[in-house]
Amino acid sequence: MATFSHESAFEAACQAGDIPGAALVATDTTGKFTYSKAFGKTAHGETMSPDSVMWIASSTKLMTSVAALQQVERGHIGLDDDVAKILPEYAAIHVLKEFDGEGKPVYEGRQGAITLRRMLSHTAGQSMPLFSPKLQQLVQTRDPPSAPPKTIVEEMSLPFVFQPGTDWVYGTGYDWAGKLVERLSGLSLEDYMRANIWGPLGMRLVGFSPDSNPEMKERRIGMSLKDESGKLVPTTEGYIHIYGVQKEDMYGGAGCWSSAESYLPLLQSLCANDGRVLGKELVDEMFRPQLGPEAKESMNNQLKNIDLARRVYANSFDMDHQVMDHGLGGQIGTRDEVGRRKAGTMSWGGLPNIIWWIDREAGLCGTLLTNLIPAGDVKVSRLEGLFEKAVYEQYEAFNKQA
């Protein structure tokens, strides 16, 4: 049996309380080389397993990208069409230009088109207060809502922070893309994905409402929190909405639950470009760097110089070395990472310290799930890098023996 060099580090991290546990899976394009193993327990005392179901947060985005690109493939919309006719509420939002001398917001009308390409590459112009000082200042000038928003249209209607196509900021484009899929297909996002992604790929334990599926409910595990002292404690907080309260909408940007093993078939299908859920040309387009010079420079400046950005969405790329771009579904590293990801690798993850990668050149993909908050744990990122290196080492040995 192959010895994977990362396993002792994961076992030690669990014993030391650095992480509550982790579920790790990886495979090649053929499925002949596979890895699936879990370590540790949650702070609730639940044993982690590759089929443990947890909130995957922004790992939902890759599925939403595939669903939206299926609409392009079927001729329902073009990548560079203005979405105004389909999402008029989105198109009606103004751009927050600045604040005047009295601290009042100054708005301007939208000038560029909001396109699916821009929505999926985070260049449409809409963000969220956590990642935008402008929106943080705006929220301070407004009275809090009398009740929590019930729909994506209500919740995601904050102003744009720049004109579409002129910059890069992590934002809410995927939630709107999910709404676009619903309006073009006539189905809820969950029903659409089940029929067009999860079913065809055999992604058994995945959904927006885990307790509605008895098998998912049985395997659902609790969230672990690392407190200010570094101690792991159980928590029911940290979700994008109160757990168990289903909104009228489904978040295409962060609403899904899954197990590591159930998520892997999507990574493998895109890595192999096997045409099972999306045609080869559109998969190639997903992995093509999408950013213009200004947006690319802006994204790299954020990842290199803003600690929160570097920790939360560098997704184990070495930002002292790497030059990043963005595809239609995740980040693109334009340089090799020593001993692991090749140039052109796509990666993203999710808030509870989840990281996935697809390396089409090497023919390898995988993901790590921890269900740990706060986001951007540096120890998890380091461990994920060790996991990848071990997978690449063993894959090389596997190919030599073949």
Cα–Cα separations (whole angstroms), residue 98 to 18, 83, 159: 42, 26, 11
Q: Which residues are catalytic?
A: 58
What span, in angstroms and rounded, lies between the C-alpha atoms of 67 and 196?
8
Convert the chain into a string of H (helix), E (strand) and C (coil): CCCCCCHHHHHHHHHHCCCCEEEEEEEECCCCCEEEEEEEECCCCCECCCCCEEEEECCHHHHHHHHHHHHHHCCCCCCCCEHHHCCHHHHCCCEEEEECCCCCEEEECCCCCCEHHHHHCCCCCCCCHHHCHHHHHHHHHCCCCCCCCCCHHHHCCCCECCCCCCCCCCCCHHHHHHHHHHHHHCCCHHHHHHHHHHHHHCCCCEECCHHHCHHHHHHECCEEEECCCCCEEEECCCCCCCCCCCCCCCCCCCCEEECHHHHHHHHHHHHHCCCCCCCHHHHHHHCCCCCCHHHHHHHHHHHHHCHHHHHHHCCCCCCCCCCEEECCCCEEECCCCCCCCCCCCEEEEECCCEEEEEECCCCEEEEEECCEECCCCHHHHHHHHHHHHHHHHHHHHHHHHC
Do the strands 372-373 and 223-226 form a parallel or antiparallel pair, or are they unpaired?
A: parallel
Neighbours of 106 (CB within 10 A): 10
Q: Which amino acid belongs to residue 281?
A: E
Here the tokens at position 367 are: 């993901």
Neighbours of 297 (CB within 10 A): 13
Task: Say if residues 19 and 380 touch (Cβ distance below 8 Å).
Answer: yes
